[in-house]
């Protein structure tokens, strides 16, 4: 059978790569809202991760992250690849994550929720923040320390003390909102960060900001915002927040 002739045509839409934890049930859905098909081409890979969120299971991702990033389509060049784990970035180190992902994928830029959160706080002029997280203390404390090392004052923090990822993904958004309110009422804050890509936070951000009168950030929102800025595009969908109104980070 003779081959039918055809033409080759590149898709010129921005290309984003995302490395997601095997146990994460939330970030992909959030990113489909933040980046609808007409805005960017989103390619996703998954990295093995433990059923429980502990320093040991998080640190183990350092060895498997290059293979996961390497499974992103090799024939295309990415504008940016994001590693979707706040606690993993904190314990592995943002510079190390960047080197591992960049070395295994064809991308111009790499980012992560911690780097993105610090950039978002700078863009919004935040200096005194509160953190809500699902983590046990051995995971929550390093994140608080990382924010402090990034030049922020962490005035207060609350955690649900959960280490089972399947339960983290099922923490009610109303409970997350209640924790944010509790932080805001305990003392003056410039903003609140909802830490963990597996928490369902995207829909509660705009009403919380309207109620509390301060920016409310989340791991998925800041990661999407930072990736959009690095790719030269804008966020859409369910991201109507104070952050989206701020200037995008420099490329």
Model confidence pLDDT, tens digit, residues 114-162: 999 999 999 999 999 999 999 999 999 999 999 999 999 999 999 999 9
pLDDT of 52 strictly over 90:
no
Closest C-alpha to 123, from 229, 238, 211, 200: 229
% of the chain at pLDDT higher than 90: 82
Radius of gyration (C-alpha) of the chain in whole angstroms: 18
- The neighbouring-strand residues paired with 43 are 17
pLDDT tens for each residue of 72-111: 998 879 999 999 999 999 999 999 999 999 999 999 999 9
Residues 153-203: tens digit of each pLDDT: 999 999 999 988 899 999 999 999 999 999 999 999 999 999 999 999 999
Beta strand 153-159 with 216-218: parallel, antiparallel or unpaired?
Answer: unpaired
Which pLDDT score, from 0 to 100, does residue 248 have? Answer: 46
126 class by beta-carbon count within 10 Å (0-12 exposed, 13-18 middle, 19+ buried): buried
């Amino acid at each position: 059978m003779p081959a039918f002739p055809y033409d080759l045509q590149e898709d010129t839409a921005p290309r984003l790569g995302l490395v997601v934890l095997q146990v994460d049930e939330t970030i992909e859905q959030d990113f489909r809202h933040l980046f609808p098909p007409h805005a960017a081409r989103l390619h996703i890979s998954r990295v093995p991760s433990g059923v429980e969120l502990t320093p040991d299971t998080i640190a183990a991702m350092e060895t498997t992250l290059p293979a996961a990033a390497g499974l992103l389509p090799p024939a295309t060049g990415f504008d940016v690849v994001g590693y979707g784990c706040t606690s993993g970035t904190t314990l592995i180190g943002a510079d190390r994550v960047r080197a591992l992902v960049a070395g295994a994928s064809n991308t111009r830029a790499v980012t992560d929720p911690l780097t993105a959160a610090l950039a978002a706080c700078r863009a919004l002029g935040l200096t005194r923040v509160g953190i809500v997280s699902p983590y046990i203390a051995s995971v929550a404390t390093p994140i608080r320390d990382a924010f402090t090392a990034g030049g922020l004052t962490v005035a207060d923090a609350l955690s649900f003390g959960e280490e089972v990822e399947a339960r983290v993904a099922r923490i009610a958004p109303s409970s997350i909102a209640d924790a944010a309110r509790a932080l805001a009422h305990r003392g003056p804050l410039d903003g609140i960060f909802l830490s963990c890509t597996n928490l369902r936070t995207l829909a509660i951000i705009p009403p919380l900001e309207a109620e509390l009168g301060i920016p409310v950030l989340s791991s998925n929102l800041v990661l999407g915002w930072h990736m959009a800025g690095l790719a030269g595009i804008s966020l859409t969908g369910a991201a109507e927040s104070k952050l989206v109104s701020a200037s995008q980070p420099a490329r």
